[in-house]
């Protein structure tokens, strides 16, 4: 997960059809969840709007998708690799790719980098006709679709304890996510978690000496930091074209969007969480209504919002701006502390003629060295839990902080083929109908659950 902002910040992926999380789409530096095409604030992916260059460090060329295979004759192989890391995370992707080609001089990687929405428009048709890339980086939401269609390779035989692709070193939520019907069809490229960003000077001015750790403290601090004249908000909650914040609030109250395969928005826990937080937005004016992820970032970046919830992609832009901020775990709710996770994954074309090289490539991405390189250059936590104490990663002050909340992370709508429809057509409109006062929480959630039930049939 690497995406981006003003051209300030960029993340993990995804500006793709919601294109949500670990990936920043657009000119704004915030990760965006895959559902809304062209959205900013993409998850684990990267900032959109960049050109389709792979960078000389990756040794990219414009070669066709399937070229010669590795043979006993020692012939060289060209491996095609599509991804959407067009933002500030691209150098990290290039560096890891270069290490692979340096270690495997007979394998050339032709890397095609294009905005996530453009990539997704081309990928399905190209893979269906056998002309797609050997390896593709893609937001996790697409695993069910591509696995079910048979377009990507079953990697189960390569993923085993003690091997180069060892599932025991991945966070448990991530390990589950990579599977479809009990088989592995993807491996992780990156990993992102969300944290609470806060302006240290605004906290000090309000007499707040430490970031909040509970909902009660958080709500009290948000109100203290909200000015009645609208010149400053306690927090900026993005409602659309962004990595979603509201699922975290549901989880921390025991609620969910879909639970055990059934709609759960009208459950007492979900309704209570939504009432609590949307009342604060509507009545106490703690955040403007209807914010996009890019708008949330801008409010925080300019000091007009004291807090926001976003991922590690934002640190690069905010560090360049030079204001005094820090991050903290999202305060715990009645049901505990949670955060949202995002990831961009690697999948291998089922029709690749370069299977051996493709497998070598995805194994390389999951090595300790590769994850240390990527994390140290992007600020994202590594995909491996066995790197928590790595001295190189400790040099980037943000990596340990975002890695520290990985045990509390959950994925948004994991394993659901109708991810985009549920997010874009149901969940986001539901939140906006509530904050705009067009529907009560009870009516909005009841209607949303019915829509989700129809999608899940």
Q: What is the pTM of this model?
A: 0.85
Asked if the model's pLDDT at residue 33 lies above 80, the reply is no
Query: To which residue do tokens 């990539």 refer?
Result: 119
The Cβ-side half-sphere exposure at 97, using a 13 Å CA radius, reads 28
pLDDT, residue 50, reads 33
Q: Where are the beta strands (DSSP E) in 222-296?
A: 258-259, 262-263
- Report pLDDT for 449: 98
Going from the C-alpha of 41 to that of each of 7, 8, 246, 324, 398, the distances in angstroms are: 12, 11, 15, 22, 19
Q: Taking residues 344-370, report their average pLDDT.
A: 97
* Each residue's pLDDT tens digit, 136-190: 999 999 999 999 999 999 999 999 998 899 999 999 899 999 999 999 999 999 9
C-alpha–C-alpha distance, residues 424 and 326, integer Å: 31
Give whole-number Cα distances, 454 to 257, 355, 356, 441, 451, in Å: 14, 39, 42, 20, 5
* pLDDT band at residue 44 under the 50/70/90 scheme: low
pLDDT tens profile 376-387: 998 999 999 999
Q: How confident is residue 60, by pLDDT bands cut at 50, 70 and 90?
A: very low
Q: Percent of the chain scored above 70 by pLDDT?
A: 84
Query: Could you tell me how many helices (H) and strands (E) the chain has, helices first?
Result: 17, 18
Strand partners, 197: 308, 327
Q: Which of 409, 372, 374 is nearest to 394 (CA)?
A: 372
Q: What is the pLDDT of residue 74?
A: 56
**HSE on the CB side for 193, CA within 13 Å?**
29
Let me know the angle formed at the C-alpha of 36 by 35 and 38, rounded to the nearest 5 degrees.
Answer: 125
Q: 410-429: string of b/e by CB count within 10 Å (b at 16+)?
A: ebbbbbbbbbbbbbbbbbbb
Question: What is the rounded average pLDDT of the residues 395-420?
Answer: 94
- DSSP class of residue 157 equals G
Q: Say if strands 195-199 and 183-184 run parallel, antiparallel, or are unpaired.
A: unpaired
Lowest mean pLDDT among 31-45, 96-110, 117-131, 268-282: 31-45
* Cβ-proximal residues to 429 (8 Å cutoff; 6+ apart), any chain: none
pLDDT of residue 29 exceeding 70: no
Residue 388, pLDDT score: 84
Question: Which of 17-21, 36-40, 64-68, 236-240 is modeled with the greatest confidence?
Answer: 236-240
Average pLDDT score, the chain: 86
Sketch out the chain's domains with CATH numbers.
Answer: 56-192+342-411 (3.40.190.10), 194-340 (3.40.190.10)
Q: Is the pLDDT of residue 293 over 90?
A: yes
Region 7-20: mean pLDDT is 35
Residues 78 and 64: their CA atoms lie apart, in Å, by 9
Reading the block at residue 163, the tokens are 């091997």
Dump pLDDT digits (tens) for 363-378.
Answer: 999 999 999 999 999 8
Tell me the pLDDT tens digit for each residue of 101-120. Answer: 999 999 999 999 999 999 99
């Amino acid at each position: 997960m690497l995406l981006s902002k003003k051209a300030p910040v960029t993340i993990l992926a995804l500006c793709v059809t919601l294109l949500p999380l670990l990936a920043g789409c657009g000119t704004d530096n915030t990760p965006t969840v895959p559902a809304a095409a062209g959205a900013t604030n993409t998850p684990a992916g990267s900032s959109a709007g960049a050109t389709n260059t792979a960078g000389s460090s990756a040794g990219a060329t414009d070669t066709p998708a399937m070229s010669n295979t590795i043979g006993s004759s020692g012939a060289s192989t060209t491996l095609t690799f599509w991804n959407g890391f067009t933002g500030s995370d691209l150098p990290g992707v290039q560096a890891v790719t270069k290490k692979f080609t340096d270690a495997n001089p007979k394998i050339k990687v032709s890397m095609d980098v294009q905005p996530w929405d453009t990539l997704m428009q081309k990928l399905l048709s190209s893979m269906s006709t056998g002309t797609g890339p050997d390896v593709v980086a893609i937001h996790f939401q697409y695993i069910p679709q591509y696995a079910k269609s048979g377009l990507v390779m079953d990697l189960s035989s390569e993923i085993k304890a003690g091997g180069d692709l060892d599932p025991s070193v991945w966070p448990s939520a991530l390990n589950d996510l990579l599977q479809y019907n009990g088989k592995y069809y993807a491996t992780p490229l990156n990993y992102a978690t969300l944290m609470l960003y806060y302006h240290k000077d605004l906290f000090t001015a309000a007499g707040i000496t430490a970031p909040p750790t509970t909902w009660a403290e958080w709500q009290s601090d948000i109100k203290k930091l909200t000015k009645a004249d609208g010149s400053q908000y306690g927090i900026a909650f993005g409602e659309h074209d962004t990595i979603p914040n509201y699922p975290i609030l549901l989880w921390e109250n025991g609620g969910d969007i879909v639970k055990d395969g059934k709609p759960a928005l009208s459950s007492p826990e979900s309704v209570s969480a939504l009432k609590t937080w949307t009342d604060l937005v509507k009545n106490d004016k703690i955040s403007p209504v209807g914010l996009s992820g890019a708008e949330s970032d801008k409010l925080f970046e300019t000091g007009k919002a004291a807090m926001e919830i976003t991922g590690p992609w934002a640190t690069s832009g905010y560090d360049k701006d030079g204001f005094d901020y820090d991050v903290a775990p999202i305060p715990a709710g009645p049901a505990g502390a949670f955060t949202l996770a995002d990831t961009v994954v690697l999948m291998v074309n089922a029709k690749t003629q370069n299977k051996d090289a493709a497998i070598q490539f995805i194994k390389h991405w999951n090595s300790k060295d590769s994850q240390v390189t990527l994390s140290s250059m992007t600020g994202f936590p590594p995909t491996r839990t066995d790197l928590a104490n790595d001295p190189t990663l400790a040099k980037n002050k943000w990596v340990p902080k975002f890695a520290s909340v990985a045990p509390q992370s959950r994925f948004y709508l994991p394993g659901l083929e109708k991810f985009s429809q549920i997010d874009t057509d149901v969940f986001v409109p539901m939140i906006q109908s509530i904050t705009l006062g067009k529907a009560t929480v009870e009516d909005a959630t009841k209607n949303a659950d019915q829509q989700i039930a129809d999608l899940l049939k």
